[in-house]
């Protein structure tokens, strides 16, 4: 059971989804306006937000941006457009996932469950990441020990700053997947708005210390316009 904030201005969709999600055991509050949604997020800390992009008072993407400025609550966006550019924009702005309208209750429920499973570890901002288990993470020849806060590449210790270590560990825990810049800033820096260059500077430093260049990456890959991916070199 989760507390869900549904932000949707179409009354029939709102009623339908509220009934459906309540019937599945969730506690649902709903609003049709962006500003009201921001107030709800601040005052009631829902477990998850389902956000329609077309709202009467604010552009949904702006609501998403503002939510990210104040909270790490998981956000599932309902969009009418299934286009690559749109999806990239949503993920970069901090959406955790999206559903394309019209969607079935079953699909919504599946996405909701997946997002909640994936994000419960950051439900308590500022503590979840620090409390992570000290299990060693291995990606190819990289061995990262969160307990000792050390990283070894092919048996040789890599000297890292605190933030570089956090970034490397985070990427290693998501290895093989592209992580959006926004997600990294939210989870590693724990701030929604950090200078874009900050991340670039840290990625460059990491790359140098791993002995690779952007033009010929082995472990650290930048996916232009999307994010960053740490992989085990082939
Ligand atoms: Ca709408």
Where are the chain's structural domains? 3-120, 127-230
Model pLDDT, residue 29: 96
Please tell me the distance between residue 114's alpha carbon and the centre of ligand 1 in angstroms.
Answer: 24
Please tell me the distance between residue 226's alpha carbon and the centre of ligand 1 in angstroms.
Answer: 26
Alpha helices in the chain (DSSP H): 11-23, 34-44, 60-70, 84-93, 105-119, 162-173, 181-184, 196-209
192 pLDDT band, cuts 50/70/90, is low
Please tell me the distance between residue 69's alpha carbon and the centre of ligand 1 in angstroms.
Answer: 22
Q: The domain at 127-230 falls in which architecture? A: Orthogonal Bundle (1.10)
123 pLDDT band, cuts 50/70/90, is very low
The CATH class of 3-120 is alpha beta
| Residues 64, 68: Cα–Cα separation, whole Å | 6
Model pLDDT, residue 212: 93
152 pLDDT band, cuts 50/70/90, is very high
Please tell me the distance between residue 16's alpha carbon and the centre of ligand 1 in angstroms.
Answer: 14
Please tell me the distance between residue 80's alpha carbon and the centre of ligand 1 in angstroms.
Answer: 9
- pTM attached to this predicted model: 0.55
120 pLDDT band, cuts 50/70/90, is low
Please tell me the distance between residue 55's alpha carbon and the centre of ligand 1 in angstroms.
Answer: 5
Please tell me the distance between residue 216's alpha carbon and the centre of ligand 1 in angstroms.
Answer: 45
Which residues are CB-neighbours of 210 under 8 A, at least 6 positions away? 142, 153, 158, 218, 219, 220
Give the closest residue to 126 by CA, choosing from 72, 162, 174.
72
């Amino acid at each position: 059971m989760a507390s869900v904030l549904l932000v949707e201005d179409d009354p029939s969709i709102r009623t339908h989804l509220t009934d459906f999600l309540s019937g599945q055991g969730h506690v649902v509050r709903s609003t049709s306006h962006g500003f009201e949604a921001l107030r709800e997020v601040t005052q009631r800390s829902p477990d998850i937000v389902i956000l329609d992009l077309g709202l009467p008072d604010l552009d949904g993407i702006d609501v998403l941006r503002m939510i990210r400025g104040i909270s790490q609550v998981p956000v599932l966006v309902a969009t009418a457009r299934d286009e690559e550019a749109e999806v990239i924009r949503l993920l970069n702005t901090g959406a955790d996932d999206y559903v394309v309208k019209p969607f079935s209750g079953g699909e919504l429920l599946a996405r909701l469950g997946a997002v909640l499973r994936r994000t419960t570890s950051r439900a308590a901002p500022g503590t979840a990441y620090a409390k992570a288990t000290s299990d060693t993470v291995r990606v190819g020849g990289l061995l990262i020990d969160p307990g000792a806060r050390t990283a070894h590449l092919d048996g040789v210790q890599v000297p890292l700053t605190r933030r570089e270590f956090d970034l490397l560990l985070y990427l290693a825990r998501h290895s093989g997947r592209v992580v959006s810049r926004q997600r990294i800033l939210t989870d590693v820096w724990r701030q929604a708005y950090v200078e874009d260059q900050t991340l670039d500077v840290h990625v460059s430093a990491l790359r140098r210390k791993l002995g690779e260049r952007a033009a010929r990456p082995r472990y650290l890959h930048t996916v232009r316009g999307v994010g960053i991916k740490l992989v085990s070199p082939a």
